């Protein structure tokens, strides 16, 4: 299978670059599923039902999220009625929404997407490792599902890599989000799991991790809050990964970064 995963969409610049580049990505790479992290899509803080619907209409199959999932008022009711929008699976029992979803392509192949949040420098949710373990008891790679992607929304690179190594051989791909900076460590682990510590963001990189520069710099210099953080509104750059898997085992055979847009050096998989 061929899977596209795009990192955190941040504000208007992120939504715009995704809308502009997704048709080209789909035409050239012909993915079987497209997954994005949308937790910063609404002005940098959360996602709305309207934005979710727009992303699904553009051809996105699953939207994962993270610590900002509850920032917009309407999302608690929306997420209960839209299974393709998922939140971290290690929220406590009874939290609205689900932490995973299985989607089928036109040929009936099934992709399981699991969203989980780290605990180092983050909210103290349930154990992310055990939470993923429990979900994987319900599915078998290469049998009940054809591809498994785990989005690890975490601050610490060590925690993301530990999750990747822990799941090696049991899932197709583990990809990190939250830090908004694409890492240069795309690889396939010994057991056949594709991995990248952070997919990066889709947004304006002439910023402080997607936010207009003035207020973050002010807080570092003066240690006092001034204005609210606001997304940078310059031209966006799209960042993500492209993964191929073996049709029998579901394990990865290829992973490559995708970068398209204004600020970072572009890179795009050659599948000719």
Tokens of 146: 């054809």
Provide CATH code, domain 2-261.
3.60.21.10
| 3-class SS of residue 245 | strand
- Secondary structure class of 65 (helix, strand, coil): coil
Q: Which helix (H) or strand (E) holds 14?
A: helix 11-29
Q: For 196-225, what is each residue's pLDDT tens digit?
A: 999 999 999 999 999 999 999 999 998 888
Q: What local confidence, expressed as pLDDT, does residue 100 receive? A: 98
Res 224: pLDDT: 80
Q: Please give the mean pLDDT across all residues of the chain.
A: 96
Residues contacting 216, CB < 8 A, separation 6+: 208, 229
Q: Of 124-133, 151-160, 199-208, 222-231, which gets the smallest average pLDDT?
A: 222-231
For the annotated catalytic residues, the residue numbers are 68
Question: CA 35, CA 12: separation in Å to the nearest integer?
Answer: 19
Q: Which two tokens stand for residue 223?
A: 């240690």
Against a cut of 0.85, is the pTM above it? Answer: yes
Confidence band of 165 (pLDDT split at 50, 70, 90):
very high
3-class secondary structure for 157-211? HHHHHHHHHHCECCECEEEEECCCCCCCCCEECCCCCEEECCCCEEECCCCECCE
| Percent of the chain clearing pLDDT 70 (strictly above) | 100
Instruction: Give buried/exposed letters for 69-102 (b at 16+ CB in 10 A, else e).
Output: bbbbeebeebbeebebbbbbbbbeeebebbbbbb
Least Cα distance to 240 among 16, 21, 58 occurs for 21
Give the up-direction half-sphere exposure of residue 116: CA atoms within 13 A in the CB hemisphere. 27
């Amino acid at each position: 299978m061929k899977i596209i995963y795009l990192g955190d969409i941040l504000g208007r610049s992120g939504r715009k670059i995704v809308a502009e580049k997704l048709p080209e990505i789909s035409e050239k790479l012909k993915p079987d599923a497209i997954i994005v992290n949308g937790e910063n899509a609404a002005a940098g803080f959360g996602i709305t039902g309207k934005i979710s619907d727009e992303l699904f209409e553009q051809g996105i199959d699953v939207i994962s999220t993270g610590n900002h999932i509850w920032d917009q008022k309407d999302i608690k009711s929306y997420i209960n009625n839209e299974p393709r929008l998922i939140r971290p699976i290690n929220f406590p029992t009874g939290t609205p929404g689900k932490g995973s979803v299985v989607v089928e392509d036109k040929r009936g192949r099934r992709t399981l997407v699991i969203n989980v949040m780290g605990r180092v420098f983050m909210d103290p949710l349930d154990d992310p490792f055990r939470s993923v373990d429990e979900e994987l008891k319900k599915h078998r790679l290469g049998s009940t599902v054809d591809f498994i992607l785990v989005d690890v929304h975490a601050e610490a690179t060590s925690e993301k890599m530990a999750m990747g190594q822990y799941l090696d051989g049991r899932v197709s791909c583990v990809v990190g989000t939250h830090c908004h900076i694409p890492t240069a460590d795309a690889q396939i682990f010994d057991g056949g799991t594709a991995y990248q510590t952070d997919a990066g963001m889709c947004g304006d990189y002439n910023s402080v991790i997607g936010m207009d520069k003035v207020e973050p710099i002010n807080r570092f210099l003066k240690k006092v809050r001034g204005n609210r953080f606001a997304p940078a509104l310059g031209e966006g750059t799209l960042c993500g990964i492209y993964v191929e898997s073996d049709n029998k085992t579901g394990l990865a055979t290829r992973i490559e970064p995708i970068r398209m847009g204004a600020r970072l050096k572009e890179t795009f998989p050659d599948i000719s």
